[in-house]
Amino acid sequence: MSFEWKKNLKRLTPYVPGEQPGAENIIKLNTNENPYPPSLGVLSAIEHFDTDSYRKYPDPEASVLTGAIARTYSVDADQVFVGVGSDDVLGMSFLTFFNGGDPVLFPDITYSFYEVWGGLYGIPFEKKSLRDDFTIDREDYTGTNGGIVIANPNAPTSISMQLYDIEYIVKNNPSSVVIIDEAYIDFGGETALPLVDRYDNVLVVRTFSKSRSMAGARIGFAVGCKELIGALCTTKFSYNSYTIDSLTIQIGAAVLADDVYFEVIRKKIIETRDWTSEKLKGMGFDVLPSDTNFLFVTKPGINAKAVFEALKKRDIYVRYFDKPRVSDYLRITIGTDEEMKKVIKVLEEIV
């Protein structure tokens, strides 16, 4: 067999997600999932779901969910685009808005899928170095470019930018679409949503996976001016009209209706994060300021990969990135109080 078709394959380095171990009784803190279940509204939506509707294609505009998002964030429905997780929304945005010859700009230490999409779609990109303290220099994003992507708060560093710095970047790039990836914004930092009504080149992307405890349902959305959202819809309907299934549409809307539960869980995670941060600092760890549901930590004199492996042997999964500038760090998702107490105890024994 010749396998001649192989010469036409794209040569890609795929995104590598955190491990999804199938074993029971582990502490899984490696993929920034919410440790608490979603709102009980999910069960109600499932119980009242008309299964006969599965005979038909879902609403391509996901109107029930789009309307619920619009009401929650006080925007018009035609300013909202929904997709299968924020990865789908971001990938669709790359495909829609980054078609010029100039490079798309994003930090050298950030969500690694940005680089993957650049390779997948043949989009030139340039990675801008974070400062030594892992903060973004806004002046790096004022030159010629084909678009800008900033995760705020950033991952894996957990640090957020001030809104006035984000607005500075948006204002100084009127010819480029600036995407603000706010996957973790509910845990800290300032949202860029107020900029949407002032600038026609900013797109804010959110997810239900973190603060809404819905990683398994895959719901993401973008908010922007009507023209940006219209362009995204054109791309979507040129690729796959039916991206979110009928049940997920109903579940997503139900989750948004339970504000009380959302606030309780969000605040609980923040409290546990801050407690864990102080405990780690007391053990000699350097902990970056976090506006997320995880901590990015290092400890002088220890091998982060060795600690990662030692934790794994104790059925505690955290994230290690064997990459320049961050190979001495571990990213630890915030779990329940009981889980984090166990993590601290085991780290004391290991370190």
Strand partners, 106: 127
Find how far residue 193's CA is from the centre of its chain: 16
Residue 315: band (very low, low, confident or very high) from pLDDT cuts 50, 70, 90: very high
Residue 268: band (very low, low, confident or very high) from pLDDT cuts 50, 70, 90: very high
Which pLDDT score, from 0 to 100, does residue 9 have? 77
Strand partners, 206: 221
pLDDT at 22 exceeding the cut of 80: no
What dihedral angle (degrees, nearest 10) is formed by the CA atoms of 182, 180, 118, 107?
-90
Residue 25: band (very low, low, confident or very high) from pLDDT cuts 50, 70, 90: confident
The C-alpha atoms of residue 209 and residue 216 are separated, in whole angstroms, by 7
How does the average pLDDT of the chain come out, rounded? 95
Question: What is the average pLDDT across 304-313?
Answer: 97
**Non-local CB neighbours of 55 within 8 Å, separated by 6+ positions:** none
pLDDT digit string (tens) for 209-255?
999 999 999 999 999 999 999 999 999 999 999 899 999 999 999 99
| Residue 88 · residue 220 · CB < 8 Å | yes
pLDDT at 8 exceeding the cut of 80: no
- pTM, full prediction: 0.96
Q: In a 3-state reduction of DSSP, which class is residue 319?
A: strand
Q: 18-47 burial string, b = 16+ CB within 10 Å, else e? A: beeeeeeeebbbbbbbbbeebbebbeebee
Degrees, nearest 5: CA angle 336-342-323 = 85
| DSSP E strand boundaries for 230-275 | none
DSSP assignment, residue 203?
E
The C-alpha atoms of residue 345 and residue 29 are separated, in whole angstroms, by 15
DSSP assignment, residue 246?
H
pLDDT digit string (tens) for 88-134?
999 999 999 999 999 999 999 999 999 999 999 999 999 999 999 99
The residue among 125, 202, 129, 200 whose CA lies nearest residue 169 is 202
pLDDT at 196 exceeding the cut of 80: yes
Residue 178: phi and psi, rounded to 5, are -110, 115
| The pair of three-digit structure tokens given for residue 286, joined into one six-digit string | 């350097």
| Residue 23 · residue 316 · CB < 8 Å | no
Which pLDDT score, from 0 to 100, does residue 205 have? 98
pLDDT at 150 exceeding the cut of 90: yes
In percent, how much of the chain has pLDDT > 70? 100
Question: What is the average pLDDT across 312-341?
Answer: 97
